[in-house]
């Protein structure tokens, strides 16, 4: 009989253990994140481009003739077509001097197009209907990388007549989708002098950096990756794979790792938003919160003598001010929390029907008391 019971217990325990193992592996698989989503390789960056240009075709809403930069710019453009006009002779209100900016992505090639942002640099009232003349866009090194040109897309307008103004959004700035063409491509050097690459974490953390290095070594080969600091993981590129960097980077990006999270609570007082990690701990603390409402009101009344017809020269009407002070103190919620998390505290306050503003005040007080073990970020 005992053998039969033991056999049944073993048969029942095996499926339960299998289910528990499946559940644990599913939890770890859900927490695992690709290395690609944790950061990027060193050298992957966008480059800012900038230039000055001229927008023409405005319906009298351009820069005023008093703007010397506009007159000089238009005179310089006309001189390239053998039209010699003194800057003082330019009186057009259909032209505006603008600042042009764009972002050159990594590995951009010749012929690629970029989105362009155009903003007025003078006293133009609106750029609606304008066309940007060809404008060279330079990088920080002064080299021209792209040329911008095209019609502006302005998400607003401005019309004025006889002192009346109707305006929507900001008509002095606009954009040109695919308005710039790359003339000089970017070829980022990925390998350094040690023939290695560096993976940079978006959020520096020593624990996460160590886990990423260990995960890469377990899948690509022991000793290839090492954590240099909290944000950089140096990966040595084998000589046999230096000609196949794309394949190597693909394998590195798809390595999964469980990142470590810092205890942090983010509070936005303007919107009343509280965002916290589920594992931010709170030590045992007593919390008491209540509201005291004070209302002060004044009422002015006139005091008249009873027998005013027999009054003397010193008898007159008097203004009397009556002040009333009302104090309403509501019994606040008082309770003691044990070793809980911020989410437990917020849930307890929600059951007590505490407003979001009061929750923010309580969290700040708990942090000041030293009971909240995490970083409190107030936006």
Q: Could you tell me the mean pLDDT of each successive run of 10 residues in the chain, 379 residues long?
A: 45 40 42 86 87 92 89 89 85 92 90 94 90 94 94 80 71 92 84 85 90 90 87 87 84 89 81 76 73 55 63 66 56 57 77 78 83 82
Q: What single-letter DSSP state applies at residue 192?
A: -
| Predicted local distance difference test score (pLDDT) of residue 14 | 40
What are the angstrom distances between the C-alpha of 48 and each of 103, 139, 151, 182, 341?
Answer: 5, 6, 22, 13, 43
Q: Does 88 lie in the same domain as 174? A: yes
Is 197 found in the same domain as 173?
A: no
Q: Which residues of 221-236 are buried (b: 16+ CB within 10 A; e: fewer)?
A: eeebbbbeeebbbbbe
Give pLDDT, residue 102.
Answer: 95
Asked if residue 125 belongs to a domain, the reply is yes
pLDDT of residue 13: 42
On whether residue 7 sits in a domain, the answer given is no
Q: What is the pLDDT of residue 307?
A: 59
- pLDDT at position 294 is 44
Residue 347 in any domain: the answer is: yes
| 3-state SS, residue 83 | coil
Q: How far apart are CA 60 and CA 94, in angstroms?
A: 5
Are the C-beta atoms of 231 and 200 separated by less than 8 Å?
yes
Tally of structural domains, the chain: 3
Answer whether residue 20 is part of any domain.
no
Same domain, 345 and 220: no
Which residue intervals of 202-276 are DSSP H helices? 206-220, 245-253
Q: At what angle do helices 245-253 and 206-220 cross, to 10 degrees?
A: 120
pTM for the full model?
0.63
Are residues 58 and 159 both part of a single domain? yes
Of 182, 217, 248, which residue constitutes the final position of a domain?
182
* 168 and 204 co-located in one domain: no
Same domain, 273 and 369: yes
Give yes or no: residues 297 and 201 share one domain. no
129 and 217 share one domain = no
The reply to whether 178 and 201 lie within a common domain is no
The range of the structural domain enclosing residue 228 comes to 189-257
Is residue 194 included in any domain, yes or no?
yes
Asked, for residue 242, whether it belongs to a domain, the answer is: yes
Domain-located, residue 108: yes
Domain identity same for 333 and 278: yes
The last residue of one of the domains, among 182, 205, 229, is: 182
Cα 195 → chain centroid = 35
Q: Which residue in 285, 375, 277, 261 sits closest to 339, CA to CA?
A: 285
- The domain boundary, picked from 182, 197, 223, lies at 182
Whether 9 is covered by a domain: the verdict is no
* Alpha-carbon torsion, ordered 162, 168, 172, 176, to 10 deg: -140
- What is the model's pLDDT at position 144? 94
Asked if residue 129 and residue 154 are part of one domain, the reply reads yes
The set of residues, in sequence order, having a beta carbon less than 8 Å from that of 50 and lying 6+ positions away, is 99, 100, 101, 137, 138
Q: 164 and 123 in one domain?
A: yes
Res 378: pLDDT = 81
């Amino acid at each position: 009989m005992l053998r039969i019971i033991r056999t049944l217990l073993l048969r029942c325990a095996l499926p339960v253990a299998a289910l528990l193992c499946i559940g644990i592996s599913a939890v770890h698989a859900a927490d695992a994140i690709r290395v690609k989503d944790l950061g990027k390789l060193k050298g992957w960056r966008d480059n800012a481009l900038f230039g000055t240009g001229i927008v023409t075709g405005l319906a009298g809403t351009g820069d005023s003739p008093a703007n010397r930069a506009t007159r000089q710019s238009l005179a310089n453009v006309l001189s390239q077509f053998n039209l010699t006009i003194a800057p003082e002779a330019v009186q057009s209100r259909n032209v505006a001097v603008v600042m042009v900016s764009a972002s050159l992505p990594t590995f951009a090639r010749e012929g690629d197009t970029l989105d362009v942002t155009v903003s007025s640099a003078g006293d133009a009232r609106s750029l609606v209907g304008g066309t940007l003349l060809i404008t060279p866009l330079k990088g920080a090194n002064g080299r021209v990388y792209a040329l911008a040109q095209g019609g502006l897309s302005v998400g607003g307008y401005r019309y004025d007549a006889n002192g009346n103004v109707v305006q929507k959004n900001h008509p002095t700035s606009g954009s040109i989708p695919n308005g710039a063409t790359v003339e000089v491509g970017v070829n980022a050097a990925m390998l350094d002098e040690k023939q290695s690459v560096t993976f940079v974490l978006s959020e520096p953390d020593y624990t996460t950096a160590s886990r990423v290095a260990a995960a890469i070594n377990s899948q690509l080969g022991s000793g290839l990756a090492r954590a240099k600091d909290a944000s950089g993981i140096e990966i040595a590129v084998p000589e046999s794979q230096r000609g196949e960097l794309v394949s190597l980077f693909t394998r590195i990006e798809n390595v999964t790792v469980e990142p470590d999270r810092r205890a942090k609570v983010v509070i936005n007082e303007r919107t009343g938003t509280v965002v916290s990690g589920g594992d931010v701990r709170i030590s045992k603390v007593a919390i008491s919160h209540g509201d005291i409402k004070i209302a002060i009101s004044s009422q002015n009344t006139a005091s008249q003598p009873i027998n005013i017809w027999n009054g003397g020269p010193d008898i007159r009407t008097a203004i009397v001010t009556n002040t009333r002070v009302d104090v309403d103190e509501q019994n606040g919620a008082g309770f003691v929390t044990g070793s809980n998390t911020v989410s437990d505290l917020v849930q307890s306050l929600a059951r007590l029907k505490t407003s979001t503003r009061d929750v923010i005040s309580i969290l700040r007080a708990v942090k000041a008391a030293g009971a909240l073990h995490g970083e409190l970020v107030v936006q």
